[in-house]
């Protein structure tokens, strides 16, 4: 069975937490607002970045 693609949306009520996961197909812009976390400028962890650089050297 293939899992449907999901997205995070802002909750309808504070009791739901920071965000709610819904199926992407169920997203309705009139009823939902996408939840977007603040992303660091370079979202690749330093250890992974170093490892990848070591592999190409």
> Each residue of 4-53: pLDDT tens digit?
899 999 999 999 999 999 999 999 999 999 999 876 656 555 655 556 66
Q: What is the residue range of 39's domain? A: 6-56
Asked whether residue 1 is assigned to any structural domain, the reply reads: no
| Count of C-beta atoms within a 10 Å radius of residue 19 | 15
Asked whether residue 39 is assigned to any structural domain, the reply reads: yes
Rounded to two decimals, what is the model's pTM?
Answer: 0.61
pLDDT of residue 28: 97
Q: Distances in Å between the alpha carbon of 9 and those of 3, 19, 41?
A: 18, 6, 22
Number of domains in the chain: 1
- What band does 1 get if pLDDT is binned at 50, 70 and 90? confident
């Amino acid at each position: 069975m293939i899992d449907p693609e999901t997205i995070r949306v802002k909750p309808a009520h504070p009791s739901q937490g920071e965000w709610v996961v819904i199926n992407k197909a169920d997203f309705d812009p009139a009823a939902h607002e996408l939840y977007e976390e603040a992303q660091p400028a370079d979202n690749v962890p330093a250890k992974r970045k170093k490892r990848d650089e070591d592999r190409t050297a």
